[in-house]
Amino acid sequence: MCPGHLRRLERGLPVDVELRQKNQTPRQVLVEACLNLLEVKPTDDAGWRKGWDRLRKAAVRYALTPKKPRKADEDASTPSPEVGPVQTGHDR
């Protein structure tokens, strides 16, 4: 058994469940949690609590993960060519 299933066994939880992939990025986990919450039936209170809890934890993990600068952010630091004033219908 993998460590995740052993922890479930120690806690008395069922071990015949599929565990999440460990190689998912925090963003992938967050998106998956959002999508899974959409699939919960409105009458399933336990499912809603579990879904919101998973979404909250995924959002915290995503927020606390150091982000690499994106290509667009790097381009923003380079000086852009001079642009003249924008003409709108109100400037006349």
**For 11-39, how does the pLDDT look when each residue is reduced to its tens digit (9 = 90+)?**
888 777 666 666 788 999 999 999 999 99
Is the residue at 6 inside a domain? no
Say if residue 63's pLDDT is above 90: yes
The token pair at 24 is 């998912």
Kindly state whether residue 9 falls inside one of the protein's structural domains: no
Quote the number of domains for the chain. 1
Mean pLDDT, residues 51-79 taken together = 80
- What's the CA gap between 52 and 36, in Å, rounded? 10
DSSP 8-61: HHHTT--S-SPPPPTT--HHHHHHHHHHHHHTS-TT-HHHHHHHHHHHHHHHHH
Q: Is residue 10 a part of any domain in this protein? A: no
Query: Does 52 reside within a domain?
Result: yes
Domain assignment of residue 57, given as a range: 21-65
pLDDT digits (tens, 9 = 90+) for 43-60: 999 999 999 999 999 999
Long-range residue pairs from 5-11, CB within 8 A, at least 24 positions apart, any chain: none
